[in-house]
Amino acid sequence: MSELNGQMALDMDDLLGASAPQDDNWGYDEEGHLLADVMDAAGEGMVDPAAIERADTLAAEINAIREQTRGVVISAALAIGARLIEAKNLVPRGRWIQWLKANVDYSDRKAQDLMRLYEAYGKKTIPQAIAEMDYTKAVALLSLPEEQREAVAEKAAAEGLSSRALQDEIARLRAENERRQTRIDDLLAQAEAKAREYTDYQDTAARAIDQEHEAAERARGEAAAAADTAEALRLELAAVKTGREAEAERAGEAVRRANDVTRENRELKERIQALEDARPEPERVEVIPEDVQRELERLRARAAAQAAQSGEAVIRLRDAYRRLTDEFRGLAELLEAVKAEAPDEAVKYAAALQKAAAMMAEKFGGLA
């Protein structure tokens, strides 16, 4: 059909889309046939049976034309919509409405509906239920999502919905779609909020993990430093222990030498006393024998030398004792410091020091 016929079909849309008269008691039976015993429209007697037959024939022809025109209406609308789109791209900007009025006598809204129809169905196979609809209903369906249009069109055809009823159904579906979309939007907003919350939680957890790693690194560094300090203290204590042992050995040697000197002094004194006791009585011996005098002087000189040597040893012993006590105090302070930093190490060193003290006590105990 030409575009002219399509335009004529669009203009006749309201007429062709109308259903057969359904007024109550108009003279039709339940199947839509005129009753033979009904008065004619003017009330002038019974209707001629030939007229009834002709009316039925006309009704069948009208229905056939209407069904044929349904598909033509939508096809023509699509053809016009395609040409309107092309024309709009050619008409200068701002002149579109004037062009419509001057050339095709369409309102902007009517042109928009035709172009929307083409955009919706002109580039693919149009569903049969929509192709058989009248123009007004097809345009009304455009307000629904594409996935709902065919089902609604089939329902409208099956239930014989009028344009008004179809508009109500479309309004109901749109309201339902809006409620569904609102729910979807709410769920999406909740999901986004949960996602942000989870992202924040991940960020917080990542920062906490990083902080834990940093703390662990610091702890490992501090542990390594503490281990180095403990090793240094251990070496220092070992050196102190070695020095103390050497000092104790020297002190013990000095004590032994002092004891030897004391013993020799005692023996010399005893010999001197024995020699003096052996001298002759003065009244009987006027001169001490020369050999006795020499031996006595020798012993006295030796005793004096030993006495002097004994004094030097005592001085050295006192110095060693003083150094030993000073080192002991320093050692005690070091042990307290180790106790604060590494209690387990302090216990080990305390036990070692007790053992060293016991060894010194055992060595010096025999000199008392």
3-state SS of 88-152 is HHHCCCCCHHHHHHHHCCCCHHHHHHHHHHHHHHCCCCCCHHHHCCCHHHHHHHCCCCHHHHHHH
Task: Give the pLDDT of residue 145.
Answer: 93
345: in domain: yes
Question: Quick check: helix, strand or coil at residue 27?
Answer: coil
167: in domain: no
Question: Considering Cα of 21, then 26, then 30, then 35, what sign does the dihedral take?
Answer: negative
Report the number of distinct structural domains present in the chain. Answer: 2
Do both 136 and 285 map to the same domain?
no
178: in domain: no
Point out the domain boundary residue: 161, 186, 217: 161
Amino acid letter, residue 184: I
Do both 241 and 113 map to the same domain?
no
Do both 291 and 155 map to the same domain?
no
28: in domain: yes
Q: 231-264, pLDDT tens digit by residue?
A: 888 887 787 778 777 776 776 776 677 677 677 7
Do both 13 and 121 map to the same domain?
yes
Do both 278 and 354 map to the same domain?
yes
Contacts of 150 (CB under 8 A, 6+ apart): 127, 129, 130
179: in domain: no
Do both 145 and 24 map to the same domain?
yes
If we measure between CA atoms, which residue out of 79, 18, 26 comes closest to residue 55?
Answer: 26
Point out the domain boundary residue: 103, 128, 161: 161
172: in domain: no
Task: Please state, in angstroms and as integers, the Cα–Cα distance from residue 305 to each residue in 192, 268, 300, 301, following that order.
Answer: 105, 12, 9, 6
Do both 306 and 215 map to the same domain?
yes
Do both 102 and 215 map to the same domain?
no
Point out the domain boundary residue: 107, 135, 161: 161
Do both 212 and 97 map to the same domain?
no
Do both 132 and 212 map to the same domain?
no
Q: Per-residue confidence at 143, pLDDT binned at 50, 70, 90?
A: very high
Domain coverage including residue 353: 204-365
Do both 142 and 255 map to the same domain?
no
* DSSP for residue 22: -
Average pLDDT over residues 307-331: 74
Task: Give the pLDDT of residue 71.
Answer: 62
Residue whose tokens read 């004194």: 269
Q: Per-residue confidence at 108, pLDDT binned at 50, 70, 90?
A: very high
Amino acid letter, residue 354: Q
pTM more than 0.85: no
CB 254 within 8 A of CB 295: no
Do both 216 and 146 map to the same domain?
no
d(CA 260, CA 312): 14
Q: 2-48, pLDDT tens digit by residue?
A: 443 444 444 444 433 434 334 444 444 555 544 444 444 444 445 57
182: in domain: no
CB 260 within 8 A of CB 254: no
192: in domain: no
Task: Give the pLDDT of residue 47.
Answer: 56
CB 351 within 8 A of CB 289: no
Q: Per-residue confidence at 172, pLDDT binned at 50, 70, 90?
A: very high
pLDDT at 176 over 60: yes
